[in-house]
Structure 1
Amino acid sequence: MGDILGLVAKRLGLGLLILLVISVIIFFMVELLPGDIAEAVLGQGATEENVRNLREQMGLNDPALVRYFEWLKGAVFLDFGRSIVTQEPVMSVIGERFRNTLFLATYAAVIAVPFAIILGVIVALLRNSIFDRVANVLTLTSISSPEFFLGYILILYFSVKWGMFPAIASLNDGMNFWDLLQRTFLPALTLVLVVTAHMMRMTRAAIINLLASPYIEMAKLKGTPPWKVIVRHALPNAWAPIINVVALNLAYLITGVVLVEVVFVYPGIGQALVDAVSKRDFPVVQACCLIFAATFILLNLAADVGAILTNPRLRHPK
């Protein structure tokens, strides 16, 4: 148990260090933008007094290093300052949006993860069959297609031609759970098509790689049915790479939804990021980027811990 806690502590410390480095990059990338930020926000018609007041409000008269540490101290307590456009606290601007993104990611994950693992096991059982080849072609097509392209194809057929689901995933407070599932089905299906292919191929590769192991050969020689060889012998030892790829795709579901949210006009944090960039609302941009980075690092940490717990060899490295 002590070894596991030590490894988790090391991974957590490394994750915090990486997040610190990313926070430096996020903050100073904004600083490196050409021109004066206050003038860029106010536009060409701004007076000198307005620019001066906005610089004072944003703290731009202080040295960049001082402003970075002030911003970092607030970020630790989820205080990212105020939006330049609405003058509201940044967390109140993106808090509801982030919850919407988490819902969409959870919706897609509930469908994609079990479907991808089951499909990966089936194609491993039917390796080199027609089903395996067709599945590989379809998954390669899905991986190679951009999210916005898949989204528009789904809108064309499911909304325009068949009228089954709405093309715009607008939400309101009066919706019940089933209406919410229907409104968000198309963006969730787009994400499912993108991440299922990667997880399925990794599951298939991990299981096929283990099928050449001596203990698998022994199980086959003893007359164990093929499905039992995979489910009871191969799959438990393949969990480590499968958990890693699942965690990476879950991170993508949260951090890579920007294009999907824009296509379906879904009120998530990705849409909020695009709006903030177009309006030069830099505090919101910085907060969204840091939340994305923290989410990605946290899910990678969860993947490392899951791989360690499922593989004893990782708990006692030589």
Structure 2
Amino acid sequence: MVRFLLRRFGLALATLFVLSVLVFAASQLLPGDIGRNVLGPFASPADVQRLDHELGVDRPVYVQYLDWVWKFIHGNLGTSLEYQVPVASLLGPSLINSLKLAAVAFALVVPLSIFGGVFAALRRGRLPDRVITLTGLSFTAVPEFISAIVLILIFGVLLSWLPVTAAYPADADFFTQVYYLLLPGMALVLVLFGYIARMARTGTIDALESDYTRTAFLKGLDTATVIRRHVLRNSLLPTIASRRPSS
């Protein structure tokens, strides 16, 4: 378990490093001079040179990259050239709202998907398995914006159960915020349900066909105990550790 987590952590660090290099390289390949673009075509060369020095773009590329990474780690994303305020202050409110939405979607999709996948595996080849598998594939195949529009029409317009016109009030309590985030959270659930349910189904089937599960049955353990102690424990780890592929 520890080796598995360390391997995943190392892979995540390597991925972040490659992404940081690609993002920084893309910014370096942008056409034009930063100082000239900010000050305009009529700025004097001295003013352009002074701004380039203030921004640090006249230093070697590797120094710029290391400085950029160091500041990013410490939460310093620089200053917005348009608004002249820290970039972090502009991203903060949006990031908080995104995290709240992700938390609501996560709280909904994880139990639903795992229960659906495990139930489908236990009824493998039967009607519940076919229904859950087909439903998950259908949800995954539908584009996110189509799912969102359908949910708005059903729960916001026809039934009027959930708000669709605005975000939650600034002074809203926890339950009010969750109420306002249910509809967009449901749109994310539809997208993720099929993938997580398929992973849970596959992991459960593999665990059911493993030697330790057969041994547990041979020892005389009842089905519920075997599923709870052996099947779920070994089938849910790859499901939780898996990542949804990009669409």
TM-score (norm 1): 0.66
Aligned residue in 1 for 2:93: 96
1:243 aligns with 2:237: no
Q: Which residue of 2 aligns with 1:282?
A: none
Pairing of 1:124-163 with structure 2 (within 5 A): 124-163=121-160
Offset at residue 195 of structure 1 (A) = 1.5
Instruction: Identify the structure with bigger relative contact order (alpha carbons < 8 Å, sequence gap 6+).
Output: 1
Residues 133, 12 of structure 1: alpha-carbon distance in 2 compared, 3 angstrom cutoff: closer
Asked if structure 1 preserves the Cα contact closer than 8 Å seen for 2:104 and 2:185, the reply is: yes
> Could you tell me which residue of structure 1 aligns to residue 42 of structure 2?
48
Residues 240-283 of structure 1: per-residue CA shift (max 9 Å, x gap):
312212xx25xx8xxx8xx9xxxxxxxxxxxxxxxxxxxxxxxx
SS in 2 for 1:86: coil
CA apart distance, 1:64: 3.5
Does residue 70 (structure 1) correspond to residue 70 (structure 2)? The answer is no
Number of aligned residue pairs: 244
Deviation at 1:41, TM superposition (A): 6.4
Flag structure 1 segments of 5+ consecutive residues without an equivalent: 260-318
Give, in angstroms, the shift of residue 172 of structure 1: 3.6
Q: Deviations over 1:71-109 (max 9, x none)?
A: 222112111111122111111111222222111111111
Secondary structure at the aligned position of 1:48 is classed as coil
How far apart are 1:139 and its partner, in Å? 0.2
Which residue identity lines up with residue 49 of structure 1 in the other structure? A
Are 1:30 and 2:24 an aligned pair? no
Q: 1:218 to 1:140 in 2, by over 3 A?
A: same
The CA distance in 1 between the partners of 2:18 and 2:234, in whole Å, is: 35
Give distance in 2, aligned partners of 1:16 and 1:130: 43
Q: CA deviation at 1:61?
A: 4.0
User: Which digits, 9 at most, give the CA deviation of each residue in 1:83-139, with x for residues without a partner?
Assistant: 122111111111222222111111111111122112222111211111111111100
Kindly name which structure, 1 or 2, has the bigger radius of gyration based on alpha carbons.
2
d(CA) in 2 for partners of 1:212 and 1:179?
45
Please list, as runs of the form range in 1=range in 2, the aligned pairs for 1:174-189 lying within 5 A after superposition.
174-189=171-186
Structure 2: gaps (5+ residues): none
CA RMSD of aligned residues (A): 3.1
Q: 1:299 — aligned with what?
A: none
CA 1:55–1:160 in 2, change beyond 3 Å: closer, same or farther?
Answer: farther
In structure 1, what is the Cα distance between the partners aligned to 2:157 and 2:234?
46
CA distance in 2, matches of 1:241, 1:10: 14
Q: State the identity %.
A: 34
CA drift of 1:56 comes to 5.6
Q: TM-score, normalised by structure 2?
A: 0.83
* 1:210 and 2:207 are equivalent in the alignment: yes
Amino acid aligned to 1:124: A
Deviations 1:174-215 (A, max 9, x none): 222222112111111111111222111111111112222344
